[in-house]
C-alpha cells in the first residue's frame, strides 16, 4: 500500500493509520515534491505534476501493482495516477477527496474566502507569507485541526508533534509552491466534465470514505459522487476532513475489510465488493 498525503502534509500524516494496517499489508508513505522532506527541484507541485511523480515512484521504486490510499489533495493525485497508470494500481482508497461542488452554497464561508484569496496571483503569496510570519508552526497546525477535526483532542500527541515539525519545515519553502498545488486542486474540481470523465475510467476497485461533518468538502458532495459512481464502495465516518488522523482505528476497520476483498479476488468478500 502506498500512502499519499494531502496539501501541506507529509508522510507523518500516516503515523497512526499505517501501523494499524501493517500486519495486513506493507506500506510506503511518500513525501510529494514540494512537501515533507522532498524538495521541489524545479518540479511541478500541482496535481498533474505530482501524479507524474507518483507514477514514476510506482514504476521505478515500488516496481509492482499496489493499492493507493490518498487523503484530500493526495486522493486526487492518487486517482490521477491510477487513471494514467492503471497497470500499477490494483485498488484505490480515497479519503475526503476534493470533489466538484454539487451545490456551491454548501461550502463553508471561510473555505470560499480562502480559496478566492489564494487564487489571486500575488495576493495569495502575500497572505501566506504574512500568516507564516505571524503564527508559529504550532498555532498554524492547531488552526488546521480546529477546521479539519470534529474533535481535535482525538489527535495522538506524538502525531501532533510530528505534524508541527513538518509544518516548521514547510514554512521554509516558497509560498508559491504551496499555492500552485492549491490552485491546481481548485482548477481540477472546477472542470467538472473532465473530472467525472477521468473518474469513470477507473476500472480497479475504488473506496470512497468521507467525514459527515467535513467543512472543506461537504458530505453532500461525497454522497452525490457515490450516486454518480455506484460501482465504488462508499463509507462515512463521524469526523471532518482528516479521518486518517482523527479516527485512524475506525478508518482502519473499513480499509481492512476492503483491502482483504481487493487482494483476494476469488473470495465472497470480493464479489460482495463488486456488487456493492
Read off the pLDDT band of 128 (50, 70, 90).
Answer: confident
Higher pLDDT pick, 191 / 105: 191
Round to whole Å and give the CA distance between 243 and 197.
Answer: 27
Q: Kindly give, in sequence order, each residue whose CB lies less than 8 Å from that of residue 4, ignoring residues fewer than 6 positions away.
A: 30, 32, 54, 68, 69, 70, 71, 74, 75, 77, 78
Round to whole Å and give the CA distance between 35 and 258.
Answer: 29
At residue 139, does pLDDT exceed 90? yes
- Structural domains in the chain, CATH included, are 2-275 (3.40.50.1820)
pLDDT in tens, 243-261: 999 999 999 999 999 999 9
pLDDT in tens, 203-237: 999 999 999 999 999 999 999 999 999 999 999 99
Interhelix angle for 157-170 vs 137-148, to 10°? 120
CB 115 within 8 A of CB 88: no
Nearest to 207 by CA among 83, 67, 86: 67
All three cell numbers of 253, joined, read 476497520
Read off the pLDDT band of 174 (50, 70, 90).
Answer: confident
Read off the pLDDT of each residue in 67-90 and give the average, rounded to a whole number: 97
Amino acid at each position: 500500500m502506498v500512502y499519499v498525503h494531502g496539501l501541506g502534509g507529509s508522510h507523518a500524516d500516516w503515523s497512526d493509520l499505517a501501523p494499524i494496517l501493517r500486519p495486513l499489508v506493507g506500506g510506503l508513505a511518500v513525501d510529494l515534491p514540494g512537501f515533507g522532506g522532498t524538495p521541489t527541484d524545479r518540479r511541478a507541485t500541482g496535481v498533474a505534476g505530482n501524479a507524474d511523480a507518483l507514477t514514476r515512484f510506482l514504476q521505478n521504486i515500488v516496481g509492482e501493482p499496489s493499492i493507493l490510499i490518498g487523503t484530500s489533495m493526495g486522493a486526487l493525485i492518487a486517482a490521477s495516477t491510477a487513471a494514467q497508470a492503471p497497470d500499477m494500481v490494483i485498488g484505490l482508497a480515497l479519503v475526503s477527496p476534493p470533489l466538484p461542488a454539487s451545490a456551491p452554497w454548501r461550502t463553508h464561508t471561510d473555505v470560499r474566502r480562502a480559496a478566492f484569496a489564494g487564487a489571486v496571483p500575488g495576493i495569495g503569496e502575500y497572505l501566506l507569507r504574512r500568516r507564516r510570519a505571524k503564527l508559529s508552526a504550532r498555532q498554524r497546525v492547531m488552526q488546521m485541526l480546529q477546521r479539519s477535526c470534529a474533535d481535535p483532542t482525538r489527535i495522538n500527541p506524538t502525531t501532533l508533534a510530528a505534524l508541527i515539525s513538518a509544518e516548521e519545515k514547510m514554512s521554509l519553502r516558497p509560498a508559491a509552491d504551496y499555492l500552485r498545488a492549491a490552485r491546481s486542486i481548485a482548477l481540477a474540481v472546477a472542470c467538472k466534465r473532465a473530472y467525472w470523465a477521468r473518474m469513470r475510467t477507473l476500472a480497479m476497485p475504488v473506496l470512497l470514505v468521507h467525514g459527515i461533518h467535513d467543512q472543506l468538502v461537504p458530505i453532500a458532495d461525497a454522497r452525490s459522487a457515490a450516486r454518480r459512481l455506484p460501482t465504488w464502495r462508499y463509507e462515512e465516518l463521524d469526523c471532518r476532513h482528516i479521518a486518517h488522523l482523527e479516527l485512524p482505528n475506525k478508518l482502519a476497520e473499513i480499509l481492512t475489510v476492503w483491502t482483504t476483498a481487493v487482494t483476494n479476488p476469488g473470495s465472497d468478500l470480493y464479489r460482495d465488493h463488486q456488487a456493492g
